[in-house]
Structure 1
């Protein structure tokens, strides 16, 4: 990102004077500098959002793993408890 900024602004916050475009007026240069600033800000925002997405993905994987462990634990408790055992009808003999 710094290379983009330095390409357009020579590392400063004001637009660079380009000898190939001597006819650019100060308004155009100001607009160019504003657009470059917006682009850099959007790049930073995108980078922040990408990092946030990565951290949310990691957290999601951890929570899924914990849910699997808890689900297995609950299943084991239920199978060990007589309250949750299946009750098949007993056939009474006369």
Structure 2
């Protein structure tokens, strides 16, 4: 795939980047070089290679899925200017 100047300007406009004609010509060469490297990856045989989520084999640690009240109501309202029975108290704003 080859990128032309019009494509570079269109992508720059979509990305909301101001690009001059000289910058677009320079980017055209850079983008074509990047796409050339990506096309080289198509030549690699990856059949039989399983997809990875990590470079190190790990298993996810899972906690028990149980519903709790958090058991920390005092900690939640500890820094509140006003609280009553574990609820935040705020000034009345509606008349």
TM-score range, shorter chain: 0.3 to 0.5
Q: TM-score, normalised by structure 1?
A: 0.34
- Which has the larger share of helix? 1
- Which has the larger share of strand? 2
Q: Considering only CA atoms, is the larger Rg found in Structure 1 or Structure 2?
A: 1
